[in-house]
A and B are shown apart, each in its own frame.
Chain A
Amino acid sequence: MATKILHGEPVGGGVVTGRVRVVINPRDAVTVEAGEIVVIPHSSPEYAIGVMQAAGLICEYGGVICHICTVAAELGIPCVTEVKGATALLSTSMSVTLDGDNGIVYAA
């Protein structure tokens, strides 16, 4: 059984498994590669550049209708927000399964 490692508010979009990309500086959003699960601290339009490549989004702070979550919803990708500790506990290249409908992040 997969190990639940984090949880937050579900934004929706289904379930996806992929490699994590933690992006702290919005300028680094351009480095996101297709299929990655982006982890960001909060909403900002520049993060959208990376989210548009992503297979999923984990946001540490921001309500379910914050702008970056809306971008994820527009894309139709899994998204969970208010995931406290996400940017510290998750690291780039680790694999996770993101359940956007139930707000849970599993170790993959």
Chain B
Amino acid sequence: MPPDSGQARVDRYRESLRKGWRHNGDSYVWPIKLSAAMHLFAKAYGDELIEDINALEASGKSLAEIARPFYNPARPYRLIDYAIYSMRRNRCSLKEQRQMVLRMLDMMRSLKDSDEFTEDGRSIIYRPTQAKGIADHLASLPPASLAESQVVHRFCAAMWAYTEAIWFRAHDVTKEFHGPYAPRDDQHPFVVKEYMNLSPRELWPDEPLLECQHIVIYKSYRPPVRARVDCHNRVFHEGGALIPHLDRYSVSVDGVWQPCDVLPPYVAAIQRAIPAIARVVEQMNWNEVALKYADIFWFRKKPLTDQRGRDWRVPESVRDAVRAGKELDRRRVALSEDDCEKLALLTI
């Protein structure tokens, strides 16, 4: 079977889910177990998602043009599952479901310049000139000191925790990790940790959020540390301890390069923001948290509704259903690694 045939791509998509989901069976997930709330809004969400894509295509846009405002490939990739969820419940044929998967994979593929399922451990988004520019910038910087390395790694950890606090498990809307890029022979490859939508006032109007929207962290490590990225946007560092092997790093905030000494104040701001959001979530009942999840879901596809000139927010009928709905007990149970893998293989 040609590797780029439709069937091969669907098979590889299914395999990518299997790899990604196998560690996903936790019994406790903050703030709530999404799988036990999905039945309240996922079908309506998937229906709208498909309608948005169909309408935009019907207006003459290509799938690449439709995908472009997403910017990061993880977003269309992680939405595929909800399109299938909707189509299965609408009793669409398997052939139709697979065609939809392929269209959304085309959207994802148009946003990257490497294997669409990142099977070689590389997720390449930057054009060669852009990667070279970053590499030149990193090469102009002195190697990181041990103290700086500790600050940078602490900042990375804080960013991860902060984005979980404000976006729950919707990683795609707030993170894109990509690379490794190796445009210069005289330099170690670098990875990019890009954090977006960092101040979503639409969701958290009164909480102490960061005041910026976009933070990018560039890091290169000396051997034996090496990095690989998977299609679920996770970076795996292997070979040795990270802190002593950080070679060079740089951080930009809303497009402006930042010195190391601005990072601790960001960490401090995050240390104030996380408990504040945790307290707000604590005050919510289960339905209110599920509704917040629905808000997050609809925000995830906002680039599509924006292109259609429509309101991105959750329809009132869905809000009513979520407010009145109940947690699905059987979807609260922890799945074994095997169960997660089987579920992924059954998806399409």
Contact = CB atoms under 8 A, between A and B. Distances in A.
Interface residues of B, number: 30
A67 B160 contact: yes
B347 to A, nearest CB: 19
Contacts of A75: 153-154, 156-157
Contact of B274 (A14, A41, A48, A65): A48
Contact of B29 (A13, A30, A43, A49): A43
B150 to A, nearest CB: 9
Contacts of B28: 41-43, 61-62
Contacts of B107: none
A85 interface: no
Secondary structure class of chain B's binding surface, majority of residues: helix
Interface in B186-230: none
B164 A67 contact: yes
A27 B161 contact: no
Contacts of B305: none
Secondary structure class of chain A's binding surface, majority of residues: loop
A104 B267 CA distance: 30
Contact of B275 (A27, A62, A76): A27
Interface in A37-65: 41-46, 48-49, 51-52, 61-65
A43 B30 contact: yes
A71 B160 contact: yes
A27 B282 CA distance: 11
B158 A64 contact: no
Given A52-B157, A63-B25, A73-B237, A44 B30 contact: yes
Interface string B230-249: 00001001000111000000
B23 interface: yes
Interface in A2-59: 13-14, 26-27, 30, 41-46, 48-49, 51-52
A26 B236 CA distance: 27
Contacts of B278: 26, 44-46
B30 A45 contact: yes
A67 B158 CA distance: 12
A65 B23 contact: yes
Nearest to B225: A76
Given A48-B274, A49-B274, A74 B26 contact: no
Interface in A61-88: 61-67, 70-76
Please indicate which of the listed interface residues A51, A62, A72 has the most CB atoms of chain B within 10 Å of its own CB.
A62
Contacts of B161: 45, 48-49, 52, 67, 71
Interface of A: 13-14, 26-27, 30, 41-46, 48-49, 51-52, 61-67, 70-76
Given A44-B278, A76-B243, 4 more contacts: A27-B275, A41-B28, A49-B271, A64-B23
The 4 closest A-B pairs by CB, nearest first: A48-B161, A76-B242, A63-B23, A74-B157
